[in-house]
Amino acid sequence: MEGGKKRVATLVGCNYANTRNELHGCINDVLAMRDVLVSRFGFKPEDVELLTDAPGSPVLPTGENIRRALACMVASAEPGDVLFFHYSGHGTLISPARPFHHGSKRDEAIVPCDFNLITDVDFRQLVDKLPSGVSFTIISDSCHSGGLIDKEKEQIGPSTVTDRASPAAHYNQKLIPLDSLVQHLSSLSGVVSPHVGDHLWHLFGTEMSPSLTGRPANPLLKKSNDNDDGILLSGCQMNETSADMSPGNETGKAYGAFSNSIQMVLREHDGVLSNRELVTRARHLLREQGFVQHPCLYCSDENADAPFLWQPKPVKLKSSL
């Protein structure tokens, strides 16, 4: 596809302040991304929706609000549009509501500020609704984010990992283990059950992820995804964690390791970078910094070598001489 006529983004940063799951750099991550979207990638400020759990935030990044923002982007998309979603926050792995759907595989999910999970199946269904010729790029700086678009083709992932790094300085993991997740949800729902979906149904009803209700998926939403335009840049492999650096690091500023590596690569290379080049460079940079997470790329063969966010080519001004 060629550069889109409309560029729309939803940016979500969850710090979970004053909770046992508190992170520090997630809001900084999406604020930095908002700036670069406008200054480099041609996004209009009014077309970038920011959802954070900062004090006084007008719209919190709840599961319902994130789904609404993503659904609106997809519903209004037209051929040639460029859609973008950047999430920085906790991730988790959960047992699927329908085990026969995935076999023994767990579902990847992001954790909104109200714990109303959004799963890899939810993202797959969003991608499947895209009109032809619309690209949808997702950056997920969260634990277990590899494969967050269900069944998307792996371009850079676990099967291509050859490097191993020494652990970096102390950092927080963007991880909420399944047992901790169930314990927290149970304290809110009052329900005694090992199944995440039981708690979410009690807390959120029809606002919860349909993929966790146990009901069969709508067959009308399924289509071939061999050449779809979903593009996932994940902060780590499915079995790894992503790092959140606290303000005590050498920069004095909190940040997510993967989000920061993306920013650093973009600053160092002002030309057009493909999705493959961006992930490869971010992976090498994190290794040099001592992190043990391995960013991954999931998309079609064509989109792997397409420009990241279909970066507009600079316009050459004609000389008046």
Assigned CATH class of 7-310: alpha beta
Q: Which amino acid is at 16?
A: Y
Q: Is 168 helix (H, G, I), strand (E, B) or coil?
A: coil
The answer to whether residue 143 is catalytic is: yes
* 199 catalytically annotated: no
Average of per-residue pLDDT across 53-57: 96
Considering 24, 90, 144, 199, which one is annotated as catalytic?
90
Task: Of 151, 129, 145, give the one whose Cα is nearest residue 76.
Answer: 129
- Name the residue with higher pLDDT: 102 or 266: 266
Task: Render pLDDT for 184-211 as a digit per residue (tens, 0 to 9).
Answer: 999 999 999 999 999 999 999 999 999 8
Pairing mode, strands 118-119 and 48-52: unpaired
Question: Which one from 14, 143, 236, 296 is the annotated catalytic residue?
Answer: 143
Q: What is the pLDDT of residues 212-267, one digit of tens each?
A: 887 655 544 545 455 689 999 999 999 999 999 987 656 678 999 999 999 999 99
39: helix, coil or strand? helix
pTM to 2 decimals? 0.90
State the average pLDDT for the chain: 88
The answer to whether 111 touches 138, Cβ cutoff 8 Å, is no
Among the ranges given (22-36, 37-51, 203-217), the one the predictor scored with the smallest mean pLDDT: 203-217
Chain-centroid distance, C-alpha 42: 21
